[in-house]
Every structure is written in structure tokens, then in C-alpha cells.
Amino acid sequence: MNHTSPILERVPAVKSADGPVIHLPRLTRLPAGGLTVTRMARAEDYRAVQGMHARCSAASRAIRYFAATDRLSRCDWNSLCDRAKGVTLLTAPGGDIRKVIAMTNILRTRDAGVVELAVLVEDAWQSRGLGSALASFALESLQGQGVRALTASVLAGNGRAVRMLRGIGAVRCSQPGAEVDFRLDLG
């Protein structure tokens, strides 16, 4: 498996409540050029995340959330920042670490040892390898952490997400339809 997110620097790890240890911030040089910084999300990042959502097209938001939505509610954002429910990471361009360009969610599911991955990349940063780098980083962070499987659900027409998930080794585990489920067994 080829991970396209080389680490330039690692600093002390952050541990989510009974979740994976994640080494942050993570600096990544993208295959298509550019440097990004990924860090743990905080509740006070709400406005920056709303800015990213505003810069994403309606189509990008719809394929991430499976619905027409122009923003996250404060309640939804607080839930994504709740470490008891999982980990949310924010990515910024190396030159402007306050500007959020991507959000990665690694969330617990009802099944013990199974997490769900979701990634939203701002339109201007799509097709540069950022989504694949973030998925690879998520997978790398889960190794040896007691997580048995990573799952993801995407719309069938979301070719970028399908390629991103196949790129980390996830396999389709659902029947053909509008929504496609992927799974990667880790244990």
C-alpha cells in the first residue's frame, strides 16, 4: 500500500478518550504540490470550519453529508469535537494555519472496535492528493490502537472518495445503490 503523506515533523501525541493516539500537528507535502498542517479540532474552530463550508460547493457538501446543507450547526460541530465520540482533525495550508481547507472525522460506531471515516476537502484543494493523504494518515493513526475495522459510506457517484478509500485498501461491502459502504479490516 502506498501512503502519499510523508511526515515532515511529529510532535507529542494526542489521545482521544479510549481512542487512537494521533501525532499532531502533522505536516504533509502533497504530491501535487503544497504543504498542509493537520491538527486536532477544537470547539472554538467553529467559525473557521463554517468558512470552509462556505467555500465548498453545494455539490461537495452534499456528497459529504448526503444532504443539501450549507453549514454545520453548532450542536453538530460540538458533537464532532467531543473526544468521547471520536476525533476530528482540521487541515490548513502551510502558509495560513488559521484557514481550514479540510476536515477529517474518525468517529466511533455502535460496534466496538469499529470507526467510521469521513473527509471533506475544500473544492480548491481537491484533486491534489489531500483527501488520500488524510485517509492514509487516519489509517496510520489507527494501527496498533485496538481498532478492528475502519468503515466509510459514500455516495456512489463520488468517484474521488471511492478512489481515496480503495487507495487505503478499503473494499466495497454493500450492494449497488446510491450509497456505497466500504470496510477495511485492521486486526
Q: Is the pLDDT of residue 65 over 50?
A: yes
Gap between the Cα atoms of 72 and 53, Å rounded: 8
Range of the domain at 65: 13-108+119-147
| pLDDT computed for residue 113 by the predictor | 93
Look at residue 167 and tell me if it is in a domain: no
Q: 3-state class of 7 per DSSP?
A: strand
Nearest to 66 by CA among 154, 6, 169, 131: 154
Look at residue 156 and tell me if it is in a domain: no
Look at residue 102 and tell me if it is in a domain: yes
Gap between the Cα atoms of 28 and 102, Å rounded: 13
Look at residue 38 and tell me if it is in a domain: yes
Each residue's pLDDT tens digit, 85-94: 999 999 999 8
Number of domains in the chain: 1
| pLDDT computed for residue 5 by the predictor | 27
Q: Is the pLDDT of residue 6 over 50?
A: no
Each residue's pLDDT tens digit, 109-136: 999 999 999 999 999 999 999 999 999 9
Residues in the chain, overall count: 187
Look at residue 179 and tell me if it is in a domain: no
Report, as an integer, the average pLDDT of 5-9: 27
Identify whether the C-beta of residue 85 lies closer than 8 Å to the C-beta of residue 110: no
| Average pLDDT value for the chain | 86
Look at residue 166 and tell me if it is in a domain: no
Gap between the Cα atoms of 8 and 87, Å rounded: 22
Report, as an integer, the average pLDDT of 144-160: 92
Higher pLDDT, 176 or 82: 82
The secondary structure of 115-152, three-state, reads EEEEEEECHHHCCCCHHHHHHHHHHHHHCCCCCCEEEE
- Can you give the CATH number for the domain in which 102 is found? 3.40.630.30
| pLDDT computed for residue 1 by the predictor | 31
| pLDDT computed for residue 22 by the predictor | 72
Look at residue 67 and tell me if it is in a domain: yes
Each residue's pLDDT tens digit, 8-61: 223 334 455 555 567 788 899 998 888 999 999 999 999 999 999 999 999 999
Look at residue 139 and tell me if it is in a domain: yes
| pLDDT computed for residue 20 by the predictor | 57
Q: Is the pLDDT of residue 69 over 60?
A: yes
